[in-house]
Amino acid sequence: MTFDHDLFVIGGGSGGVRAARIAAGEHGARVALAEADRMGGTCVIRGCVPKKLMVFASSYRAAMADAAAYGWQVQPGAFDWRAFRAKLDAELDRLEAAYRGGLKSAGVAVFDCRATVADPHTVALADGRRVTAKHILIATGGRPSVPPAVAGAGVLTSDDIFRLETLPRSVLIVGGGFIACEFACILNGMGVDVTQFYRGAQILRGFDDEARGHVAEAMRAQGIKLLTGADAAELKPAEGGTWVRATTGEVRVFEKVVYATGRAPNTGGLGLEAIGVALGGRGEVIVDQWSQTAVPSVYAVGDVTDRINLTPVAIREGHAFADTVFGARPRPVDHALVASAVFTQPELGTVGLTEEEARAAGPAEIYSTAFRPMQSAFAGRPDKVMMKLVVDPASRRVLGCQIVAPNAGEMIQLAAIAVKMGATKEEFDQTVAVHPTMAEELVTMRKPVRTA
């Protein structure tokens, strides 16, 4: 059978674009890609990139206070959201153009419209055209999800924050995951009165207990009204915003309410189940180690598979798919020991096992320290940072590393190399410290504080 293309990619995010570029540019495949929204997907347009720029912007308020403590004559004014938003939009336009340019130079045909799957080798475009391909790659990512009870209550999601015309004076953020916590810190740093509800006992479920407790304490110290064991019981329009009654009995009007209560895979209406592609309970595409679905010609990568929902993982999966199917270099993606960072203030960096995971798996030694870093201590701030290593007492391998500190994301990237290589605690100890730094504590913790 003759096909229009060797590969048709549905989704122009990080995973789909990488797969298309490698398949076409490096392996000579005839590739097409369809994207119904802006090229670049969640990460570039409404996720990692704009969020990190907002993290930078929000951090300058504390930096200016520190500058004054260090002797600089600083006269800060109010944060100009409109000026920042204009530069942010321009940067996203530049990045989207770069993504499009990369696809064009690789020879990928781009369709700016929604695409669905008609059969194992046919894609139906929203404009009525049908295109055939030997292989189809689903890379449609995920989307914010809100509870059905509040879906029509005028609440915002994380996507909407990037499009605000003005900053609200007050905001309620509902949720306790990394997106909720990051935006609580961002908006607080920009001068917004932030309240956060999380129905669980502690924010950042799934992360190391000691680390997430450290983050929660820091968030409260910065002025965020963080309430755990709390949820929004009732919402209704009110003068000046939204009237909210909490499960704790508290009543207040917030100018904006943001729900950051999770994300769901973007598989609705794609036609996957009709052709035999299996979906999981959350709507995720079920794939094997080669990112192949139950239908041999259909593959999926990135957040739509709900494996590890991180941009670098999606990129690795897309690249490995292209090498496997079109480059005669079969290779699965190693999903073990993937480092990640939560861009709260301070940041949380993590790789490997948490203390709780290590305790469940078997004996472990815990090396941990918390201290006031030099820079903020000199400025008179009470901030503390935390460094933690989880060690296997038999092999002496470092099984996990947790860092809560400014720039923890930068530090955990380097620590992850050692952990991935199987470094032992003694090899950490044999590494001479870089002084004076926060990270030197990773190689100077001599005795375990407890066993797990």
The packing angle between helices 48-69 and 178-189, to 10°, is: 40
Minimal CA–CA distance to 179: which of 56, 341, 59, 317? 341
CB atoms within 10 A of CB 376: 18
**Total count of residues recorded for the chain:** 452
Our answer to whether residue 335 is catalytic in this structure is no
According to DSSP H, which parts of 255-331 are helical?
Answer: 311-326
How far is 136 from 58, CA to CA, in rounded Å?
Answer: 41
Which amino acid is residue 378, in one-letter code? F
Peptide bond preceding 436 in cis form (omega within 30 of 0): yes
How far is 363 from 219, CA to CA, in rounded Å?
Answer: 32
DSSP type of residue 150: G
- Phi and psi (nearest 5°) for 395? -85, -20
Longest dimension (CA), the chain: 74
Q: Are 196 and 231 in contact (CB under 8 A)?
A: no
- The DSSP string of 203-222 is SSTTS-HHHHHHHHHHHHHT
Enumerate the active-site residues: 435
